Amino acid sequence: MAVEGTNTQGGEGQNPAQDPAPQTTQDPTPGVVEPDAQSLRTELDETNRKLQAANAQAKAERHKRAALQGQLESFQTPAAPPDESFISVTDAQRIAQEEVARSQQVADNAKLDEGFNKRLAVANEKHKDIDVTGLVNDDTLPISPAMAGVLKQDELGAELLVWLHQNRDKAAELSTLTPERAAVELGRISSKMSDPGSTNSGAPDPINPLGGSGVSSKDEESMSTKELEAKLREQRGGSAFPRDAL
């Protein structure tokens, strides 16, 4: 039996739920413009420009910060110590005077050396069997610096050197004396050599420097130390106890 209202052939009574949905195209959102390639490049360039400007500003700020930090440290750095190379007028005058004195000492020593070398040459001619000049560098001959100074300044220094060479035991005793006492003893020997009334044309007899007697004349033996100093100073042009070395 047929059902009323049903069309098995797809007529007007067909079920709408079984019909396919209609295909529709969705329109773009109203008011929104899709970007194109040119606008994207423009926006990217603008962003890069802003980024470069920001980097430049940051770099400038860093430089400014470093400059301010350096200025701050300059205030915190302690003051430099005073220049010690500065020389006062008084010190400059003193240094100049010392330099003049040293120069004068050098000149005086050179003059002494010249005179002593001449006397050595004369002694070499007199004592043919002795190398008098060589005695100056004879390390085995005991001569103290004070004795060497006397030999240089005394007019008979070369003859005194020969006498010390011939009397080495006495030279050793003299070398142990104080500079003042050694100068006094050598002065006595020199005075004996230069005494025109002496009958001994050679070197004087050895002295006993520790005992203070020997070849010394009574006058010299009776002299005080100050009197002997004055005599030696007069003989040597103002220096009783020279300290110069040979």
Q: Can you give the residue ranges of every domain in the chain?
A: 107-195+205-235
**Which residue would you say has higher pLDDT here, 77 or 7?**
77
Joined tokens for residue 60: 């400038």
pLDDT at 60: 87
Task: Write out pLDDT tens, residues 134-189.
Answer: 988 888 999 999 999 899 988 999 999 999 999 999 999 999 999 999 999 999 99
Q: How far apart are the first and last CA of the chain?
A: 167
Q: pLDDT at residue 237 above 70? A: no
Joined tokens for residue 134: 């060589």
Task: Write out pLDDT tens, residues 99-131.
Answer: 999 999 999 889 888 999 999 999 999 998 999
Joined tokens for residue 210: 């520790």
Q: pLDDT at residue 236 above 60? A: no
Q: How far apart (Å, rounded) are the C-alpha atoms in residues 144 and 123?
A: 21
CA 173 to chain centre: 43
**Which residue would you say has higher pLDDT here, 240 or 148?**
148
CA atoms within 13 A on the CB side of 92: 5
Please name the residue that has the structure tokens 């060479």.
165
CA torsion sign for 164, 166, 170, 175 is positive
Four-point Cα dihedral 138, 144, 150, 151, nearest 10: -10
